[in-house]
């Protein structure tokens, strides 16, 4: 078990907690509870009842970096339910399940629980999208963005709006300048060769942030985390994990696509569903660097302060890889201008 589970007790205790929560809040008698590979915000479990399978996300309430995802639940779940019930994307998203008390989540003293229907499929993960999947994803994101004008105002107004704030950059910069060398560990060893590069990228982010705050940009409803680990191939292509949803420029959702070899195919299909005539290179560069720097800071916090979500080996591997990508980011803008 990862450290996050151990803080809430042994596996037997966690299993008992889940059984009790399912019984009390959902009238579900679990016949099988199986841990699955989760993301960075929550643990994941396959639940089998007598007649149905479910997917359960379990958030550790005592992990500081998880609080933002817990706070997001009551904001994004009603939106996802509306999209599922009212649009043709219902075959491409997972339906959340409310408790018998008609609330979106439930909790005990250690964990918060979020239940949804279970979809049999495979996460795309490290695999590239095939031709059909590229078109499917372009359709999903194109339709999602186009629905901005028809979604009820009360749901739109609940969502976060892109502010281009970069507090994580301030935290990372402070760590590099003040705290990095206070402990002679693997974090110091790995980060030391990249400190100048990271500080340069943070300075660049300050420029981009200030620039974009003063631009008249068009905002649409964005999933804001549409990477391959949040895309699942089931009977249909599924877009999962909506915690990051917000109102933002289209580039927020397109940044993870335009860096791929199939970018032109994607954009051609995307434009069948959503207008995209004015491309903002500054926004693309901002979201490219944002992803790298946010991830780097999260993994540093896991390694130094908050405890690991994944194993140390996986976390260190991802940190090393992203630092290398960040050091090569100077060509991103030039390459993108040639592509688009």
Q: In which residue are the tokens 């100077």 written? A: 330
pLDDT at position 7, please? 52
Q: Specify the 3-state DSSP secondary structure of 36.
A: strand
CATH architecture label of 131-339: Alpha-Beta Complex (3.90)
User: What b/e readout covers 209-225, taking b as 16+ CB neighbours within 10 angstroms?
Assistant: beebeeeebebbbbbbb
Q: Specify the 3-state DSSP secondary structure of 248.
A: strand
Domain 3-118 class in CATH? alpha beta
**240 φ/ψ angles, rounded to the nearest 5 degrees:** -115, 175
pLDDT at position 2, please? 45
Distances (CA, A) of 36 to 14, 39, 52, 77, 141: 14, 10, 17, 22, 27
Q: Where are the domains of the chain?
A: 3-118, 131-339
pLDDT at position 38, please? 80
Question: How far, in Å, CA of 195 to CA of 323, rounded?
Answer: 10
Asked if 149 and 87 count as a contact pair (C-beta separation under 8 A), the reply is no
Please give the chain's pLDDT, 340 residues, in tens: 444 454 556 778 889 999 999 999 999 999 999 999 887 789 999 999 998 999 999 999 988 889 999 999 999 999 999 999 999 999 999 989 999 999 999 999 999 999 999 999 999 999 999 999 999 999 999 999 999 999 999 999 999 999 999 999 999 999 999 999 999 999 999 999 999 999 999 999 999 999 999 999 999 999 999 999 999 999 999 999 999 999 999 999 999 999 899 999 999 999 999 999 889 999 999 999 999 999 999 999 999 998 887 889 999 999 999 999 999 998 898 888 877 6
pTM over 0.75: yes
């Amino acid at each position: 078990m990862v450290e996050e589970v151990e803080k809430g007790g042994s596996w037997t205790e966690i299993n008992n907690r889940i059984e009790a929560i399912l019984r009390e809040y959902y009238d579900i008698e679990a016949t099988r509870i199986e841990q699955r590979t989760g993301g960075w915000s929550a643990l994941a479990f396959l639940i089998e009842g007598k007649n149905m399978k479910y997917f359960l996300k379990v958030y550790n309430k005592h992990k500081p970096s998880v609080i933002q995802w817990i706070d997001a639940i009551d904001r994004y779940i009603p939106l996802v339910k509306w999209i599922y019930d009212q649009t043709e994307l219902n075959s491409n998203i997972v339906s959340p399940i409310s408790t018998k008390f008609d609330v979106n989540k439930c909790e005990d003293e250690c964990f918060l629980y979020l239940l949804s229907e279970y979809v049999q499929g495979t996460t795309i993960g490290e695999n590239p999208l095939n031709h059909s999947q590229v078109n499917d994803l372009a359709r999903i994101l194109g339709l999602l963005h186009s629905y901005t004008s028809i979604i009820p105002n009360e749901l739109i107004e609940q969502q976060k709006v892109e502010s281009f704030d970069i507090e994580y950059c301030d935290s990372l910069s402070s760590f590099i300048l003040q705290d990095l060398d206070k402990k002679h560990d693997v974090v110091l060893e790995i980060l030391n060769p990249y400190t100048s590069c990271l500080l340069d990228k943070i300075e660049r982010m300050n420029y981009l942030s200030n620039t974009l705050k003063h631009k008249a940009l068009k905002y649409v409803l964005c999933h804001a985390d549409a990477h391959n680990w949040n895309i699942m191939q089931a009977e249909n292509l599924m877009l999962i994990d909506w915690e990051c949803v917000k109102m933002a420029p289209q580039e927020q959702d397109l940044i993870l696509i335009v860096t791929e070899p199939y970018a032109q195919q994607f954009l051609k299909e995307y434009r069948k569903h959503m207008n995209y005539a004015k491309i903002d290179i500054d926004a693309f560069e901002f979201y490219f660097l944002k992803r790298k720097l946010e991830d780097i800071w999260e993994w540093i916090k896991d390694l130094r302060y908050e405890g690991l979500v994944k194993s140390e080996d996986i976390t260190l591997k991802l940190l090393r890889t992203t630092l290398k990508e960040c050091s090569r980011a100077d060509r991103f803008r030039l390459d993108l201008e040639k592509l688009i």
